[in-house]
Amino acid sequence: MSIDRRTDPDAETDHSAEPLQTDLTMSEWSESEPLDLTDRDIEMIESEINKQRTRLNYNYTADGSVILGSTHYVGIFSLPDGPTVEVRPKAAGTNLLHLYRYARGVAAPPLDSQSSVVAGRRFVDALATLYLEELETIWRSGLHTGYRHVQETEEHLRGRLNLQRQLQRQGPTGMEFECDYDELTADTVENRAVLYATRILASLVQSNGLRRELQQHVTRFRRRVTLVPVQPHQLDQIELTRLNDHYEDALRYAELIINGIYIDDFQSGTRPTLAVLIDMNRIFEAVVERAAREAIQDMDGLRVRGQGKVRGLVTGGKFPVRMRPDFVIRNHTDEVVFVGDAKWKTGSPNQADLYQLTAYQLADDVPGILVYPSQYQSIETEYTIQDTHSLRLVELPTAEGDRDYREFVEDFKTTLSGHLEDLIQ
């Protein structure tokens, strides 16, 4: 049985309602204290949070209580009858949304932007702060419009007369016209998605100031856009062109928000249930690939290939052995000159990780790098493969605070470019 998705988008936001409060904070790969959860809570975990893959573990104690176990998915989730839980990454400090923004290719905010994601701010409030920046970008660049096909009864002929409908509805002596025409409108899927996500955030944030700003945008959009639920598959159908490419970053955040809502009913007294969870393994892989791509921009003839194939060391056999490092660097003749892997892990390096990268290096006889999140230089070291090539373990400064987004990105590029320039001959 799945959880009902109730919707009432036309109900006005209840500003007197209590905002979504965080009841429990966990870090990655940690366990909660025993909790009293209902069958509805467990159903949500099984049918929604863990619908496609295991994002959250749980175990029963002898007395029937439940212990939640976090994984490498971080963010926030709320259970129908249970707590609202925020899962924080171990090695990101206050930079989770900086990492998300960089991994997804979201542009840097304007230099004169007054908003910031401050340390300690709740995940949803921090997300709302970034989302507000993108809403301002939309209004500065202009609301996107598009044509939609309309079938209406008009007093005057407009567009094309629909003869079949004219005879059915008006008869031979009708005084009105059954018309088909295309109308330019701002009521597009892009605008509906942005409005819907804005409405969701307005009901979730804890900051009164953020809620007021978001509600102002809701009011402004609703003058020209219909507030209706937008499904994730509708976002996949949006095509970005030069006419609406200023929506790109806002739609990335809207996708994250809309995908996370499971019960969406904003009537007074109803608590929204959500799970906005980010896969830190995939985020870090994308971060490292992008940082590597930008780090070699000034190195002539080199290019980065994400999830690039290497020549197989293992051949034959019944089952294929696929070897795909997170990124490879090729030269102007398309030869692999470097391999790299990203590992979102803390603590001592795993032997399996070292064996894996060694295999990648031996396949193409090249140097390689294992990239980890910040651990304050505790694991940085270097090995030599068959007395020939270096296998270097490095850390990206993911957890260091007091940096705006541009400084954060520049530190990544500087750190990785130094290692790549040193290792690639």
Share of the chain above pLDDT 70, in %: 86
pLDDT of residue 272: 59
* Mode of pairing for the β-strands spanning 177-185 and 261-263: unpaired
pLDDT of residue 314: 67
Do residues 206 and 122 lie in contact, with contact meaning Cβ atoms separated by under 8 Å? yes
The Cα 174–Cα 185 span in angstroms is 29
Do residues 44 and 1 lie in contact, with contact meaning Cβ atoms separated by under 8 Å? no
CB atoms within 10 A of CB 121: 18
The Cα 111–Cα 406 span in angstroms is 9
pLDDT in tens, 272-318: 577 888 899 999 999 999 999 999 988 888 999 887 666 666 677 78
**In DSSP terms, which residues pair with 87 in a beta bridge?**
26, 75
Encoded tokens for 326: 């997170």
Instruction: Give the length of the chain.
Output: 425
pLDDT of residue 378: 86
Question: Over the chain (425 residues), what is each successive 10-residue block's mean pLDDT?
Answer: 38 45 86 94 92 93 96 90 90 86 76 46 82 94 90 89 89 88 92 95 88 96 94 91 92 89 45 79 94 89 80 71 84 92 91 92 92 89 92 92 84 92 86
Domain ranges for the chain: 24-143+188-280, 146-185, 296-423
The Cα 94–Cα 109 span in angstroms is 17
The closest of 109, 111, 147, 156 to 131, measured between CA atoms, is 109
**In DSSP terms, which residues pair with 76 in a beta bridge?**
86, 276
Q: In terms of CATH architecture, what is 296-423?
A: 3-Layer(aba) Sandwich (3.40)
Do residues 418 and 110 lie in contact, with contact meaning Cβ atoms separated by under 8 Å? no
The closest of 392, 397, 393 to 412, measured between CA atoms, is 397
CB atoms within 10 A of CB 328: 24
- Alpha carbon separation from 245 to 106, 111, 190, 376, 413 (Å, rounded): 12, 20, 11, 39, 26
Backbone angles phi, psi at 35, to 5 degrees: -125, 150
Mean pLDDT for all residues in the chain: 85
The Cα 117–Cα 408 span in angstroms is 13
